[in-house]
Structures are given as C-alpha cells and as structure tokens.
Chains A and B, each alone.
Chain A
C-alpha cells in the first residue's frame, strides 16, 4: 500500500488558552484517494483534528503538541500554512464567512491571485473549475445573491484551483437545507471521482453524509479516537448512539422492529439494504402492532389567526402572498421551506418588526395591527437563531431580568419571576454565573428564558437547533417539548426534518412566498411534491417502508414517531 497522505502518530494537542489537552494519543492514517468521515459530538475534538491537518494549528492557533503528525510527508510546524494549502484544501463550515471575494469569480481566483498567476491564465483556471462545480453561469454574482448550496460550490471551487491532494470539509451540511445538503454530498462525491483527491468530512449528520459511499468512519469522543472502521462495521456496532451520534433513521426503525443490524445487511445505504423475507416480516408485524397505538391530538382554542397576509419589501415583488392559517393554544408547529421562502419574514410580521401590505393578524381575536413591537412582545416571544446575537448582559440573571427591568416592574416581583423562569429552564443552579461560562445549548436556554420571563402566550423560534449535535439537539428539543406540555404554544422555523418529524405534529410548508400546505409532518415528508417544493428530502423511513412492502408509508412514519416518543429515550 502507498504511504499515507496524512499520518497522526500518537499525537496530542493542547491549545495555548486551555488547561487540558484537546487531543490525546491520536493514531490515524489517511491514504491518498480515501474518503473518511470523522464523526463526534461538539467538543469531541473532531474540528481540532481538521485544524491540525490544514495547518491552522499551529499557525493560527498555537499550542503544545506531543507525538508526530505528517501531512504530505512533512511536519506542519516545519512547513508553513501556505505550503500546506497546496496539499490540503479546506472548506469551512461558515459559507458566508469564508467568502472573501466580492463576486464568485473573484472568490474562486483568490488563491491563484496570491500565487501571482497572470490574469489571463487565472481567468482560464476559474472558468474550468467553475464549470466543474457547475457555478460557471454565476461568475458575476455577489455572495448575497447566492443560495447556501451555491456558496458552498464556490468555496469548493476556491480550494480546487490548487490541485490539492486532500479536500477537508468542516461540517459542510451545517447551514444547508436538506435538499441542498444532499446535493453537496453528491457534488463532493463527483469531485472525488474526477480529481482522485482524498476527502475528509467532519460532520455529525451521519445519515446525510452516507448518502454517497464513504470508506470508513472515525468516531471521536473527548479528544480520543473511539473507533476507526469501515462504515458497515461501524453501523452494525453500538458505538454511535453511545457517543451521542444519531444513526440513520432506517436503522433505528429496523432496531425498533427487532431486527439485528449486521454487516451482511449492508446498512451503509437505505437503497442497498439486503432485506430478507424474515426482516420484512418483522417490520410488517411491528407496523401492524404500532398502528393500534396511534392516538389523535385534541385541539385547543384558537390563539393566532392569520388571514390573507401580503407583504413585500418592494411593491413589485411580494415576499409573502395571501397567507392564511391558525395556531391553536398548546400547538407545537413547524414552519418549513427553503431559504428565502418567506418563513423568517412571516415571523417578523407576526412580531411587528415589519408591517404587512394587507391582511390580518389576530391574537385571541384581537387585531394586532395597531400594536407596537414592545406591546406584541408581551404575548409573542421571538428567539433568534444565534444566541450570541441576543445576549447583551454579561451575567445570566441580568440577561433574563432585562425585559422586566425595562417594563418598570418592582424588584420583588422581578426576582420572583426570574427565579421561577430560571427553574423552568433548568438554569437556576447557574443563576449567579456569567453567560460566557455556558455552552452553546445553555446559552440558547438563556435566550429562551429571557423571552419566557415576559410570560408570552406563544414563542417563535428561528432554527432552534441549527448546528447542534444530537446530544444538544435532544437537550434543546426536550426542553421545548416540556415547555409545550406546560401550556406554551411553540412555533419553530426550521429545515431540520428530524425536528419536524419528531417534535411537531403539524407543519406549515412555504415556497416562494406562498403557503403550500398545512398538514402533519409525516404527510409532508411522504409527499414527493411537497418535499421538492420545500427543498426537503423524503426520509429514509419512506424508502424503507416501500422496500418492506408497506402500503402506507406515511402511517409507517407516524408509527415510528409514536414508538420513539413512547419507548425511545
């Protein structure tokens, strides 16, 4: 076998600002042309491994290393970050942040510019690479004119101009909707085939990455490699769930049905499953048994009614067109649709950040059009996607108390309310802590607490779980579910299909400013047309149920969710 392209030998690393090493005794060889998935929860050290490979460690993040690391036969600290960039091309997670140029063409040309490639030659290179990733018709576009998926194509093109030997992707799916995520994985696969470069993907969304075949999975936890094995073997074992990584849904469903996952089953891909009659039978039986357990939800009184709502930033182009729906007290609803479909605009209209051109928004039968942002906020809370954009006080208590102080509430009453809210949110033990000591998920809770303290009847959350690993995702969602049980009405804007499927019985689908459907989440994901319009993708449960000869895939999905809510976790 050829010598490895990247080789960690008993490698350890400690960031300068940290008291403990982040990586311990890493032994990992990656060979030319391999496709490796590095999985792990946040804080497992998987991103640090990436930074070691591309040279951000030690050049941007200095620290103490032990053991040995070779990239392209050289030790990174003996080389330079520039030299390394000829060997390893990196696509970062933040597709916006890494867009350096002001147009697509300029961004792709960034590396050749730095290498002093003459302009004519540079234009040819850009043309060629842009064609390869199918972005050549957008060379003059500015970043904000592109979709998330297109931005990622640009990032990929930008590193491919170098003829690198390895492509490193740091959470490539984090900012993409499901359909764009799938396209990204297909693109990476295509590039791998055409260039023969090794592909290293750091990601915790396993099922999405496995849409195209990978050679092996490296599982990390707490700075160590827990397992490093071929995909089938990894999926057959119990490693993933034990370490906070969600396995593909179809495998979970098979386990629920009592099927043992083995390598012979070929569990890598839902279409490649080798299903024996015995397995089909088991799944069928489980499905029959579950159907009787389904219950229907009782409906609460009407809370929010939206009627014939129209809105546009310019009169010529409407961002929202004739939207009507109702939210009932105690509902937990997802609003789904591709980026730019009008989901966030809808939230802004409900909160009063923007004024509709025409149409009604009523809360408890009362017309909201005359109420200011502040007045509406007493009833409708809005939680932004990124908690760092909301938190404005250094201490948790102050942050949660802020809205009450502003409203001029007396001190005793404030204290009582804040205490109660912190208890609901599980933050009471941290009440005297600074915000900076909290994890991302905990910060999210602080922002939710700072909204809850105003006792709104309804909370709107924008992408509550974006970028979270399974553990934090579950933590946040269980918390929201708990709030919902306590009577809070919750509306979530999301493109996370798992979230919608597992936590919200109902989903409202938007596409290009129009409301396409208001139905059950299971229905949405089993209706190919809706799936396409909302840039989602059908679940693997759908594919599995078809393969098992189940006539109503939607019902199968509902059974799965019902079972999971009862037995899972």
Chain B
C-alpha cells in the first residue's frame, strides 16, 4: 500500500532519525514539562519556532501526519470551547484586568484577557503536539521499548507499548481489506448514507477486526512466552544504541531550554506573562 499508515514510524534519513530513542524520549518528556509549566508567551513563541525548526530538520512532511494533526486540532478546539463555557472570566482573574471587547449573552463576555489566555493555552498544545508526533514518527519502534526501559520504565510496559505501535499498520491494512469486502456486500461507508446507518455499518467491519486482533494477541503472547519473555526482572536489548556526541548535545540543549524556560517564566514570580499591567 502506498499511503503511509497513521501513527507509525516513517523511515527517512535525518538528524532527528539518527538520534537514539533514549535521547528522543528524554527530549520529548523534558520538552513537554517545559511547555506545561510555562504560560509565558515569550517562552512559548520561542519554543514554537524551535519546534518548527526541529520539524523541518526531521524531513517529515505535514501531509504524512495530517490525519493526526487534524484530530489534535479538533480536540484543541473542543478544549478551548469548554474552558470558555465553564470559566469565561478566568483570564480576567489571572491578568487582574478586564478589557471588554463585546458581550455575548448572560455571563459570557469576550474579554481581551480571556482571549490572551486561550491564545497561550493553544500555544502550549501546539508546542507539544508536533514534538510528540515527531517522537512517534522518527523513532524506530524497535527502539521504543529499550528507550523506555533505559529511563526506568518496566520493560513489560515498554514492550506492550512498542507492540501496540508495531501492530497499528497491520491492523490498518486488515481494516482496509475487511472494509473492501464488506462494501462488496452492499455496505456503504462513503458517506451517502445517514450517520446512524453509517455507524451501524462500521460495526460490520469492527466485529471481524476485533476478533482477528484478539487472535493475533493470543498468538503473539504465546510466541513471546515460548521464548522466555518475562523470565527475569531485567533484560538486555539487541538494538539499544550507545549515546553519541549529538545525543549528548541534544540532551544538554533541551535541559538548557528547560532552565531558561523556568528562569524566564518565574523571574517575575508568576507563571503568566502579563502584558496588561
């Protein structure tokens, strides 16, 4: 199949791909922490620009991951909507000032502060999502488990995660095959039918898909046990790569980013950068 499966490793030659899984994992975690802590707009803008650079360097194209990006965008919009519905004055509280742009109805007013708050929140997510996707797309799934284990996660957990990722393309291929065969039996998924019928129809594909996946799980867990998985508390890794010069540079860089992030953010004693006072 020519199209690239969703959420899977995309093999390309790039600096990002060359880094060890461990480095990318550390980068991803530290980066996320940095983005979660700060609400400082200046820091966020810098981080955002940096993440675009990383994205460029990785040679992953936007359309490779457009589906997941779309999903993330939908969640982001929902998230913003709910935050506004439940606390429309949160921004005012944080920034201790109130600039009304226009009222909507009842307690709902659009204030500059609230908009600024939403802007920052959105920025945080936009900073993390590309890096998270890059982590998945650029890390050889074979390195997943070993890199998780190298930062202290139990190898059983690590392996489950990596197996799950490993089977995503297989399951997608199977879904494709099943759906074609079901379409030949008159099940239309192309969107001409009503939503309810379409949902009912998708069950016709999901049931066989789930059953065959369960089968697959049984086989693989038997195969793993037969070859001694889970015998010892620890295990060694065939493809755990040693940290190279570039790896150390990246790790130091991301730690430095975190440090700068913390300093700039808390310099004035608050997580928020306040342009209003």
Contacts and interface: CB of A to CB of B under 8 A. Distances in A.
Do chains A and B stick together as partners? Answer: yes
Interface string B117-128: 000000000000
Nearest to B216: A97
A98 interface: yes
B238 A126 contact: yes
Contact of B222 (A60, A116, A374, A406): A60
Contacts of A450: 185
A241 interface: no
Pairs of residues from A and B, 8 with the lowest C-beta to C-beta distance, nearest first: A97-B219, A406-B186, A109-B238, A98-B223, A102-B142, A392-B204, A114-B228, A377-B184
* Chain B facing A: main interface SS: helix
Contacts of B225: 56, 59-60, 81-82
B234 interface: yes
A114 B239 contact: no
A377 B186 contact: yes
Interface in A428-468: 450-451, 454
A488 interface: no
B185 A402 contact: yes
A384 interface: yes
Contact of A102 (B140, B180, B204, B223): B140
A114 B216 CA distance: 21
Contact of A101 (B142, B177, B222): B142
Contacts of B63: none
Given A314-B2, A377-B185, A390-B178, A110 B229 contact: yes
Interface string A381-409: 11010101111110000000011001100
A16 interface: no
A564 interface: no
A454 B208 CA distance: 21
Q: Pick the most buried of B224, B227, B231: most chain A CB atoms within 10 A of its CB.
A: B227
Contacts of A109: 238
B183 A374 contact: yes
Contact of A389 (B142, B174, B230): B174
5 contacts: A59-B225, A60-B225, A106-B238, A114-B231, A374-B183
B237 A119 contact: yes
Interface of A: 54-56, 59-60, 81-82, 85, 90, 92, 94, 96-98, 100-103, 105-106, 109-119, 122-123, 126, 144, 158-159, 313-314, 348, 351, 353, 373-374, 376-377, 381-382, 384, 386, 388-393, 402-403, 406-407, 450-451, 454
Contact of A392 (B174, B182, B222, B228): B182
Contacts of A113: 235-238
Contacts of B215: 388
Contacts of A386: 212
Interface in B213-258: 215-216, 219-232, 234-240
B91 interface: no
B223 A92 contact: yes
B186 A374 contact: yes
B141 interface: yes
- In this complex, which of A94, A114, A159 has the most chain B Cβ atoms within 10 angstroms of its Cβ? A114
B223 A100 contact: yes
A407 B187 CA distance: 9
A116 B235 contact: yes
A348 B180 contact: yes
B207 interface: yes
Contacts of B219: 92, 94, 97-98
B211 interface: yes
Contacts of B227: 85, 100, 110-111, 114, 158-159
Contacts of B239: 103, 105-106
A393 to B, nearest CB: 8
B100 interface: no
Contact of B208 (A56, A159, A314, A391): A391
B271 interface: no
Contacts of B98: none
B228 to A, nearest CB: 4
Contacts of B211: 388
Contacts of A451: 185
A116 B232 contact: yes
Interface in B134-153: 140-142
Contacts of B140: 102
A388 B208 contact: yes
A81 B226 CA distance: 7
Nearest to B239: A106
Contacts of B162: 102
A112 B236 contact: yes
A160 to B, nearest CB: 11
Contacts of B186: 374, 377, 402-403, 406-407, 454
Contacts of A391: 207-208
Interface string B95-137: 0000000000000000000000000000000000000000000
Most chain-A Cβ atoms within 10 A of its Cβ — which of B140, B185, B222? B185
A98 B208 contact: no
Given A85-B226, A98-B223, A110-B227, A390 B237 contact: no
Interface in B179-202: 180-188
Given A114-B228, A119-B237, A392 B220 contact: no
A97 B208 contact: no
Nearest to A313: B2
B217 to A, nearest CB: 9
B174 to A, nearest CB: 7
A168 to B, nearest CB: 9
A102 B141 contact: yes
Contacts of A351: 180, 184
B205 interface: yes
A144 B186 CA distance: 31
